[in-house]
Copies of this chain bind each other. A is one copy, B any other.
Amino acid sequence: MVTNVKFDEKGLIPAVVQDATSKEVLTVAYMNEESLAKTIETKETWFYSRSRQELWHKGATSGNIQKVVDIRFDCDQDALVVLVQPAGPACHTGSYSCFSNSLLGKETVTAEDRFAILSILEETIAK
């Protein structure tokens, strides 16, 4: 059982996933008690998908797992910040972060090409 945190009436708590190195916010997802317990146990992120209504191991299909460095909770104990080392893009669109659009029309410099350099390196080595 996970103490210290409170789940809402649907049994969920919002989890802000943040890159432990770049400090960029990658995703906001939701955890239930089971997914939080699995995250703590495996040190990889597990969420609860509200649309599919099932547990979801980030990176299980894409390979883009997120290694957990720390999990912080706030003063109200009703939100989490999960600090991670991502193995690849966090977003299903292939972007480094899910937050790549600005409401104020500003350019977002969210290190979207953070992993692009690895592909280029890979290609160069393969030649």
B-binding residues in A (CB < 8 A): 2, 4-5, 14, 16, 18, 22-25, 27-28, 40, 70-76, 79-81, 91-93, 95, 98-104, 106, 108, 110
B76 near A98: Cβ-Cβ < 8 Å: yes
* Secondary structure dominating the interface of A: loop
B70 near A106: Cβ-Cβ < 8 Å: yes
Q: Among A80, A101, A108, which residue has the most Cβ atoms of chain B within 10 A?
A: A101
Cα separation A108 to B99 with both chains bound (whole Å): 25
Chain B, Cβ-Cβ closest to A78 = B28
Knowing A75-B91, A106-B70, the reply to whether A4 touches B101 (Cβ < 8 A) is yes
Chain B, Cβ-Cβ closest to A25 = B81
Chain B residues within an 8 Å CB radius of A23: 22-24
Chain B residues within an 8 Å CB radius of A102: 70-73
Q: How far is the CB of A1 from chain B (nearest CB, A)?
A: 12
Which 4 residue pairs across A and B have the least CB separation, nearest first? Answer: A23-B23, A28-B79, A74-B98, A71-B103
